[in-house]
């Protein structure tokens, strides 16, 4: 009876949405700087400019924390606001037109902070979640490896226990922003004598320390945000392990859910209406068409309509998937639907914007650099269906674990991972 009364009191103590909106609107006006349209081609920032932008994001995150608006749905005891997903939706609508700490959202708040909140010890949560809320810690996820991309369960980076420490050797790759981040969640192998899904553990890894070498990878668009980490006799205390030894896939399954569903996640801030490829309002189809002087072209208007329809369907379908999962009507594997929808939509929107940009998306001068960015986005458009786990993998997950279709045949289901053929082995 006491617990029920406490729960009722807690619900009644939550600020109503209109009061929250009014308070938030006044605070944003007085404290947050106006949004500055992105004009530089992605990857054009120097290292110094990149680091300055990271610091700007940390400062913005601290502003949110000081104002009581950091981590809207995270509990107050860990530095959050202790509110509801509906309050986060209000925040997302009101932050439009203001700067916000976009670098601290994914993967710091989700999946990383969400995983720590669900699976971390009390000590781990009190150590890291308030630091995340304040912008003092930016987190990445160490999942993919050179020999296993979207098949994260194929990890061969190994941790061997040595008393209260674990000694890690191996490599992770495609870690976005590792060179300027602080911590990472890492899925590594701790047991080679059981089937691959049963022999992994999850650790919190401080990125910049002896035993880790971080190398940056230059992409087609000139960006060097992706990194590869080489871990050589890296020592991690057992106190930085999340979940039970060899039970990392239990954590990993929910981790993948948080990763796939970031587009509909209440853990992050995403200004309402922002396109999935991150172009922002300055890359709206109407703005692009007006900039190129093609707004009255009937073909261009068709493209604008198609873009609007795609964005609307992506938004509303994503919201419906989120409600269905929250309400227990869909299992969590339905997050793969949101992943597929978001990835495909982002690819199509990048293509449509490129078509709208016309010749300026291929060759541009300084005045048309924003349109040139659309051309660069087009070149790397397929990354929207690769990063964060390929949409092909999500299709498998949806078909097998959501729709209940037969699983693909596997000959390693009951085989010790050390005996599974890999690479050129036969």
pLDDT in tens, the chain (426 residues): 334 333 333 444 789 999 999 999 999 999 999 988 665 445 568 899 999 999 999 999 999 999 999 999 999 999 999 999 999 999 999 999 999 999 999 999 999 999 999 999 999 999 999 999 999 999 999 999 998 867 888 999 999 999 999 999 999 999 999 999 999 999 999 999 999 999 999 999 999 999 999 999 988 777 888 999 999 999 999 999 999 999 999 999 999 889 888 888 999 998 986 643 333 344 689 989 998 899 999 999 999 999 999 989 988 998 899 889 888 999 988 888 988 998 999 999 999 999 999 888 888 877 777 788 888 889 888 888 887 778 998 899 899 989 999 987 777 788 999 998 876 544
Contacts of 12 (CB under 8 A, 6+ apart): none
Phi, psi of 321 (to 5 degrees): -60, -45
Task: Give the pLDDT confidence score for residue 409 in this predicted structure.
Answer: 79
In degrees and rounded to multiples of 5, residue 253 shows phi and psi of: -60, -45
Residue with tokens 């920032």: 45
Q: What is the pLDDT of residue 423?
A: 64
SS (H, E, C) the chain: CHHHHHHHHHHHHCCCHHHHHHHHHHHHHHHCCECCCCCCCCCCCCHHHHHHHHHHHHHHHHHHHHHCCCCCCCCHHHCCCCCCHHHHHHHHHHCCCECCCHHHHHHHHHHHHHHHHHHCCHHHHHHHHHHHHCCCCCEEEECCECCECCCHHHCCCEEEEECCEEEEEEEEEEEECHHHCCEEEEEEECCCCCCHHHCEEEEEEECCCCCEEEEEECCCCCCCCEEEEEEEEEEEEHHHEECCCCEHHHHHHHHHHHHHCHHHCCCCCCCCCCCCCCCCHHHCHHHHHHHCCCCCCHHHHHHHHHHHHHHHHHHHHHHHHHHHHHCCCCCHHHHHHHHHHHHHHHHHHHHHHHHHHHHHHCCCCHHHHHHHHHHHHHHCHHHHHCCCCCHHHHHHHHHHHHCCCCCCCCCCCCCCHHHCCCCCCC
- pTM equals 0.84
Calpha distance 166→230 (Å, rounded): 16
Query: 182-228, pLDDT tens digit by residue?
Result: 999 999 999 999 999 999 999 999 999 999 999 999 887 778 889 99
Per-residue model confidence (pLDDT) at position 425? 47
Distance separating the N- and C-terminal Cα atoms of the chain? 63
| Residue 54 burial (CB count, 10 A) | 19
CA distance 91 to 89: 5
Answer whether 168's CB lies under 8 Å from 204's CB: no
What gap in Å lies between CA 248 and CA 142, rounded to an integer?
13
pLDDT at 412: 79
Structural domains for the chain: 15-138 (1.10.540.10), 141-247 (2.40.110.10), 273-402 (1.20.140.10)
| pLDDT given at position 280 | 39
pLDDT of residue 365: 79
Phi, psi of 365, deg, nearest 5 = -110, -170
Residues 6+ apart with CB under 8 A from 90: 17, 20, 21, 24
């Amino acid at each position: 009876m006491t617990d029920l009364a406490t729960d009722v009191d807690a619900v009644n103590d939550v600020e109503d949405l209109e009061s929250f909106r009014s308070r938030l609107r006044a605070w944003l006006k007085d404290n947050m700087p106006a949004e500055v349209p992105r004009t530089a081609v992605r990857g054009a920032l120097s290292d110094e400019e990149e680091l300055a932008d990271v610091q700007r994001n940390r400062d913005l995150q601290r502003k949110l924390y000081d104002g009581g608006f950091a981590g809207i749905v995270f509990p107050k005891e860990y530095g959050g606001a202790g509110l509801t997903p509906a309050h986060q939706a209000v925040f997302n609508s009101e932050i439009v037109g203001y700067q916000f700490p976009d670098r601290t959202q994914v993967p710091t708040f989700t999946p990383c902070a969400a995983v720590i909140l669900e699976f971390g010890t009390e000590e781990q949560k009190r150590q890291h979640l308030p630091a995340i809320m304040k912008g003092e810690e930016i987190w990445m996820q160490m999942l993919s490896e050179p020999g296993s991309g979207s098949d994260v369960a194929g990890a061969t980076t190994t941790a061997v226990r040595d008393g209260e420490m674990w000694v890690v050797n191996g490599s992770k790759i495609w870690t976005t922003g590792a060179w300027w981040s602080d911590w990472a969640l890492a899925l590594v192998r701790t047991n080679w004598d059981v089937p691959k899904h049963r022999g992994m553990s999850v650790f919190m890894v401080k990125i910049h320390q002896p035993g880790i070498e971080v190398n940056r990878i230059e992409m087609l668009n000139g960006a060097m945000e992706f990194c590869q980490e080489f871990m050589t006799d890296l020592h991690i205390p057992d106190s930085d392990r999340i979940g039970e030894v060899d039970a990392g896939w239990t954590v990993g399954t929910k981790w993948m859910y948080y990763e796939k569903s970031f587009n509909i996640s209440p853990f992050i801030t995403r200004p309402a209406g922002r396109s999935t490829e991150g172009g922002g309002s300055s890359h709206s189809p109407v703005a692009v068409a007006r900039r190129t002087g093609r707004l009255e072209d009937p073909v261009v208007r068709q493209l604008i309509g198609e873009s609007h329809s795609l964005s609307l369907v992506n938004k509303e379908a994503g919201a419906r998937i989120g409600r269905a999962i929250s309400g227990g009507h869909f299992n969590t594997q339905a997050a793969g639907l949101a992943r597929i929808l978001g990835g495909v939509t982002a690819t199509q929107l990048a293509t449509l914007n490129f078509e709208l940009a016309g010749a300026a998306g291929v060759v541009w001068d300084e005045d048309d650099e924003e349109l040139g960015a659309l051309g660069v986005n087009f070149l790397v458009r397929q990354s929207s269906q690769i990063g964060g786990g390929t949409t092909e993998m999500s299709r498998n997950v949806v078909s097998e674990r959501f729709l209940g279709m037969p699983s693909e045949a596997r000959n390693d289901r009951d085989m010790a991972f050390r005996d599974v053929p890999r690479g050129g082995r036969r």
